[in-house]
Structure 1
């Protein structure tokens, strides 16, 4: 039996975060398998059921929501409404720019701040590299742009001591910068 709308096990979609749509459909389809839901109309009905009411209303009026239209077409039409929801659009270079701008604005004053920035940056940059939208050298060059000037100077000073022959035209590798950042911020928990 499929879960009810308010069941904690019911799939959830957050329309304010389009990236959750892919996971929503994955969760929904796991329930379809478990509950032996195979009909297109049933699948579309359940896909609409677990969404907020305004989303349900929108999805209900899609031409692909009509009887006889395959569930896969419905799913594609829904995905088209949410740019950034497909795996091919997971991240854009503008997402990395936004992260850099945000972090430069709010700063990095603790190890926790740095850890969050490092995770977010790595997630976006690694995906962009895998998609051929960025090189590792570009990633390394961009990483320190999210650092406040005072922290950046302290890290660069340590890196220059460790590698005095480093070519100034080449960025330091992300892992080396991360290691020195952790050292500089080691006594600043939260």
Structure 2
């Protein structure tokens, strides 16, 4: 039987709509482990939160080790109005508002939206809380604007006799969307937008933060709340500077921290950081940092980025760092996109071994870079 301490174990935290699934998952694992009904009663509370565990262990069916009675008692304690998950109109509207801001670039992307929308809308229609016409309107509104334009063009070409005020049905929209996406299967296009990238940075050997890397910024900035946690990092108000935002708004920084240590991996960089009162990011590594570290970036089509940087005080030390999308929390969700967990690219080992055999004395980083300058273009970028 899988331990209740493992992340993959079924877990109940009190949501009545999740009880049925929880009991089914638990019973499947228990049957695989060949537990008796009495053992199921004993183990079950351990897979609930601590507070709920205490409650369940006081129930008579638990004390009597009666598995069927215990399940019936739990269903009575956590009643639900419907057999399946209950949705409100607000849930469907929230899905629509979220989806219209997420680019759709593949059949899989659209299928995910279609499944989620269909699940909610079918429930609401069955409960007489959503009309067909309103459902069709919401389905259309959930498409990103650029994609919706392509789908509309396809619909107009296919249905030339439709009235301009015609409300497209879910089926019509779905078929047109699949057609558009199938047509562009072999066409590589740009994303509507991509998140900024972050790296882990140790500030002043005291605080670890996620720093946004942006060579389009003129400054290195540190947010005020982070600065307040630092020791021995005075701010010089006389070195304040003016900030200009994209909408031409202006604001003043609070001052400059001189020679602030920032550690990335084994390398410590000393930067001049402006302290800002409000910022969406705790630490912004702008062009001064990029110049100091001689950063070279490799960007992939999906936005994944690696940074190769050197130690300005030790030319022998060069590192390559993987970035993560801003706001990425790690693999807490099994459905998390694994693209942000990739290793930094490495040069083909067969090539390196070939170089070593040809030039056995040329093992320093400088020598390898010199050799790379004359090598195959496919591997040259590994030695920037």
C-alpha change, 1:68 and 1:20, in structure 2 (3 Å) is closer
Query: For 1:19-38, what aligned pairs fall within 5 Å after superposition?
Result: 20-29=18-27, 31=30, 35-37=35-37
Tell me which of 42, 45, 58 is aligned to 2:51. 58
What TM-score comes out, normalization by structure 2 length?
0.38
Cα pair 2:45 2:53 within 8 Å, conserved: yes
1:158 aligns with 2:154: yes
Greater Cα radius of gyration, structure 1 or 2 = 2
Query: How far apart are 1:103 and its partner, in Å?
Result: 0.9
**Mapped partners of 1:36, 1:188: distance in 2:** 53
TM-score (norm: length of structure 1): 0.70
8 Å CA contact 2:45, 2:57 repeated in 1: no
Asked if 2 retains the 8 angstrom alpha-carbon contact of 1:154 and 1:184, the reply is: yes
Shift of 1:177: 0.7
Question: 1:129 deviation in Å?
Answer: 2.3
Q: How big is each residue's C-alpha offset from its partner over 1:40-72, in whole Å with a ceiling of 9 and x where there is no partner?
A: xx6554321223xxx1x111333x642426523
Aligned residue for 1:122? Answer: 118
Greater strand percent: which structure? 2
Higher normalized contact order (CA 8 Å, seq sep 6+, divided by chain length): 1
Aligned residue in 2 for 1:46: 43
2:3 is matched with which residue? 5
Residue in structure 2 matched with residue 74 of structure 1 by the alignment:
74
**Count of residues in Structure 1 that have an aligned counterpart in Structure 2:** 175
Shift of 1:164: 2.9
Which structure has more helix as a fraction of its residues? Answer: 1
Q: Mark the runs of 5 or more structure 2 residues left unpaired by the alignment.
A: 62-68, 187-301, 303-384
